[in-house]
Structure 1
Amino acid sequence: MRKIKCIIVDDEPLAISLLENYVQKISFLELVFSSENPIDALEYIQNNESDLVFLDIQMPELTGINFMKIVGGKQKYILTTAYSEYALEGYEHNIVDYLLKPVSFERFYKSALKAQERFSFNEEKKDSYFFVKSSGQQHRINFDDILYIESIKDYVNIKTSQQEYIVLDTLKSLELQLSGLSFARVHKSFIINLSQIKSLGAKKAVLFSEQEIPIGEMYRENFLNKLK
């Protein structure tokens, strides 16, 4: 597996220095950029390849929460802050872990391992398919064939271009499995394949099958960021 390309954003120089030192000690991490200015970090992300941001929440020019809202799902994040009350809001985004300052190397290393697992998992999914159990049989489903996934009580309905598969699973579980791929949660009951969108309205997406999928208000911003 290639190294995880890391960015550090923190308005405290000593905090940056500490995290830079930690990153250099871990073989599967590669520091590609660090800055006290979140605006500079935004510009770097727009023009360069990176995977993971070690991100402070409380910064004067731009808070970490607003930083994530701007970048969207393009990055994964490990939040670093002295204020634990921001943890819940942070987890609404693409968060791997939450580190409370002062950060020990042991705690940092555990977070790095979580990130490694997340990126390894996503690379495995780049094989372009997975298996699900439906009607007593294992079925191979190509990601490109999926139109949408709908939650139905304790089951999900995986709708492909050929047929449907009723699977005992949760939408949240499948959302995690499809993380990093061309899929987005758009409603409490729906995940859609972004590549299957034919047209987009204020409150619905129309897929190539002419199926209309509602877009929930709480999912709209993250969905639109993924489309970018």
Structure 2
Amino acid sequence: MNPVTIRCVITDDEPLAAKGIMGYAARTGFLDVVAVCEDAVQLNAVLKQQPVDLLLLDIEMPYISGIEFLKNYPQPPKVIFTTAYERYAMQGFELDVLDYLLKPISFERFLKAANKAYDYFAAQHTQLSPYFFIKAEKKLEKVLYQDILFVEALENYVAVYTTDKKILTHATLKSVIEMLPAQQFIQPHKSYVVNMQHIGAIEGNILHVGPFQVPISKYQKEEVLEKIINNRLLRK
């Protein structure tokens, strides 16, 4: 297995706590701290500027808590909470965080969480084949990532629209998202995931994807457009 380097951001309003976590991260050899933020406002700006794999995120901070930030940020990186408050543990795990560290954090406990993150991202790297399989109508269908137009959630099913067919399978949208390369797909709406390579036009709150139209949620339109366009807009 090739070694994995995890790009991470430390966010903590306590400078000494942030410094301690930064020192721990440096000792692991695989956590690359690309930024240190004092609050979620700074973190929000950092995430718009560069790719990040992991957040080492405090919970009680000025302006907006770590939990509220995580709930409202579209497609956030994976998270390890670092907090002095045990009462948020249940909320943390409901948000599918990798781990929950209580301050004061020992290096032994930090390393355990870091290794959990390493194993998670190493598994993601091994899954970077150009396809995956979907169970549909009593058979397994091979689907190439490049052929997917978009995926739509339909109650207890998801519909995968490709360049030549529609595949209906009993699954959750979240489980499909976990199989897709994050740099290629975007979630413009809670019920849809779209292959950015197949977006032909953007019209108001609608994405034209092949012959289909996919809605953009008004609450995350700005973030979605920024990710899709990503400095590729021709200006006057």
**TM tier relative to shorter chain:** 0.7 to 0.9
What is the CA distance between 1:61 and its match in structure 2? 7.4
Partners of 1:65 and 1:90 within 8 A in 2:
no
Q: Does 1:213 align with 2:214?
A: yes
Partners of 1:52 and 1:76 within 8 A in 2:
yes
The total of aligned residue pairs comes to 226
* 2:6 corresponds to which of 4, 7, 20: 4
**Cα deviation code 1:131-172 (max 9, x no counterpart):** 222222222211111011122332222110021222221112
Structure 1 gap segments, 5+ residues each: none
What is the CA distance between 1:196 and its match in structure 2? 1.4
Partners of 2:132 and 2:142 within 8 A in 1:
yes
Structure holding more helix per residue = 1
Q: TM-score of the superposition, structure 1-length normalised?
A: 0.75
Q: TM-score of the superposition, structure 2-length normalised?
A: 0.73
Q: C-alpha separation between the residues in 1 aligned to 2:189 and 2:196?
A: 14
Of 133-142 and 177-186, more deviation after overlay is shown by 177-186
Q: C-alpha separation between the residues in 2 aligned to 1:14 and 1:110?
A: 21
Partners of 2:205 and 2:216 within 8 A in 1:
yes
Q: C-alpha separation between the residues in 2 aligned to 1:74 and 1:98?
A: 17
Structure 2 gap segments, 5+ residues each: 231-236
Partners of 2:11 and 2:40 within 8 A in 1:
yes
C-alpha RMSD of matched pairs (Å): 3.7
Q: Does 1:148 align with 2:154?
A: no
What is the CA distance between 1:19 and its match in structure 2? 1.1
Q: Which amino acid aligns with 1:16?
A: A
**Cα deviation code 1:155-191 (max 9, x no counterpart):** 2221100212222211121122226232223334322
Partners of 1:5 and 1:32 within 8 A in 2:
yes
What is the CA distance between 1:119 and its match in structure 2? 1.9
Partners of 1:54 and 1:78 within 8 A in 2:
yes
Q: C-alpha separation between the residues in 2 aligned to 1:74 and 1:88?
A: 16
> Cα–Cα, structure 1 residues 159 and 41, in superposed 2: closer, same or farther, change >3 Å?
closer
* 2:107 corresponds to which of 95, 105, 108: 105
Identity score, percent:
33
* 1:114 corresponds to which of 91, 102, 116: 116
What is the CA distance between 1:25 and its match in structure 2? 3.5
Q: Does 1:132 align with 2:138?
A: no
Q: C-alpha separation between the residues in 2 aligned to 1:74 and 1:23?
A: 20
Residue 223 of structure 1 corresponds to 224
